[in-house]
Structure 1
């Protein structure tokens, strides 16, 4: 028997308790529930009032921990609105597709005048051929004559509205009964649905917050630092933040494994530079968890690696990604920016793209100046460049797309890395700032990331 997949799409702007209740109800009826927040829609201009990266985080916070529910952020990442007939085609190979719709979309179906038949692309064909899971409010009268041929009625127990949540937030009213606590805290932290332009950092507190501890206690220094917080940590599902003890590599691994949990990361440095973490003396000067901190939402990279058959394999990176020569010969790379060839032949050891956070790592060692944490830009950097002789790096705007392609993969192969993790040999790297992926880093207010960058720039 094929797997029954419920496609639960919507703007979810923002998602609330009522959306979560619907997803839980659907999971009782179907094998899998795919929650798909939509990208920009001409008929719903409010979908662009809050940047996609914040809406993606809220979707993960509200739906991410629900059994049988998967959050699909592809619309956000591709900056598009995927219509139902396209979703039907995408998911049909995986099982029996059921489109989740409100009962109001069926009114007039007997006369061919329902919203599905009149306004959906290929709506008439879908009406006859597709499966529909119809959400019906208690007391709502739905005529059997208006039903499509393949339908399952799902009674709703909880009602709500994203409009009500947005309106309450815009008036500064509490929304505690309308959204989960973590979602409410996240929206308050960055001023979502209140300020015209959301913030990307905020001052706050972790005092009393339960946390998940990630530390390799086989390392003596990590074990010593862990003793101070031992016994206070909880399981991931009960945590409000993640405490990472180790070096920058440990933090990158934790972000790679857990960014979709959308929990803030508070690091304690047991390594060397520890740019992404807090110094032990800063942490030990106060009680833990600290009461005065700065939250920073840091963007991530969206990457696609192209193999010799032209297939693309997607990944996300927090710090950086690069191609480097796989043999003793220099790499020959073509650099294309926003579909315009900018460097037809870059002769070098390799080329790297980096976020502002990553600008303090390998990019800095390759000669690039570190970027401020809230700089709306990212970097493209060459390593040991022989040609063009004077080119070293470029500053890129957030909406820039970069393609780094190997000119001679047969004789001069290159290998790819993301945050230090090997991706093997590839022929091209497609990179841009992600529209959906981000990680929150937390620093003691007395020594925030901005202070760390200032220390690098001025030699303090």
Structure 2
């Protein structure tokens, strides 16, 4: 471990800032540009921000997160003790993000990665009307709803679970397609699709019923079409303590009440 070059990132919360000061007293740190691993202090939201920042900079490093937030589902337990030893014993987990390609009603195009999910959401009191297309085939000519989302296995326990979507094992190589408050077809509750699937949405009547597309925390408003697929060109690596057993935690979420 003596050659490990670590960079430190912390959320602006008081707990994370206190932890950052403690770790800076104990260890030597390098700028992100010189590091081979990032230690992230905060919650799941801050971890997503850190991963997105690496994607933006086109410099992707393994990340060891420690929970100083609320849930910390994707984080390890916080401890200032034996940090180098812990990192040396970690188990890596690879995440392939989604790629969202969105076109707005005025013809602008936007591309954004999503590690947890891409969601389409109505912008006004009017329900959204969406055409749902899977691998070029229209599977739902008209879905009337508050929205819909596509979630990765890593994100299936987040917004997807709140919307009554399925929990996906990490090694399932599947995506969850989950409606949000569907009105018609009333009995449709979503689908589980192979990871290689390309999912598209066309907004019906986008001026009267405007819809936004959100890739994790990044929003594009007034979309007309949205295409979503797994992006294997930018795999992300999360580092976990051996006892963390993220796959077991996701499995056990199916029995939580």
Normalised by the length of structure 2, the TM-score is 0.91
- Given candidates 271, 277, 302, the residue that maps to 2:69 is 271
Distance 1:279 1:457 in 2: 22
Q: Residue 237 of structure 1 corresponds to which residue in structure 2?
A: 33
Taking the TM superposition and a 5 Å limit, the aligned residue runs for 1:114-129 are none
TM-fit CA distance, 1:211:
1.1
More strand by share: 2
Give me the CA root mean square deviation.
1.8
CA contact (8 A) 1:294 1:448 kept: no
Distance 2:158 2:51 in 1: 16
Distance 2:112 2:126 in 1: 27
Q: Residue 287 of structure 1 corresponds to which residue in structure 2?
A: 82
SS in 2 for 1:392: coil
SS in 2 for 1:431: strand
- Given candidates 148, 151, 176, the residue that maps to 1:351 is 148
CA contact (8 A) 2:76 2:240 kept: yes
Q: Which is bigger in relative contact order (C-alpha 8 A, separation at least 6)? A: 2
TM-fit CA distance, 1:388:
0.8
SS in 2 for 1:446: coil
Cα 1:270–1:381 change in 2 (3 A) is same
Q: Residue 439 of structure 1 corresponds to which residue in structure 2?
A: 236
Distance 1:436 1:416 in 2: 22
SS in 1 for 2:254: helix
Q: Residue 160 of structure 2 corresponds to which residue in structure 1?
A: 363
Distance 1:338 1:434 in 2: 15
Q: Note if 1:258 corresponds to 2:54.
A: yes
More displaced stretch, 256-265 vs 449-458: 449-458
Q: Note if 1:223 corresponds to 2:20.
A: no
Q: Deviations over 1:263-319 (max 9, x none)?
A: 101111111111121122xx45x5103132110111111110011244432221111
Distance 1:207 1:367 in 2: 46
Distance 2:248 2:130 in 1: 36
- Given candidates 106, 130, 136, the residue that maps to 1:333 is 130
Give 1 or 2 for the bigger CA radius of gyration. 1
Flag structure 2 segments of 5+ consecutive residues without an equivalent.
none
Normalised by the length of structure 1, the TM-score is 0.52
Q: How many pairs are equivalent?
A: 251
Distance 1:311 1:396 in 2: 29
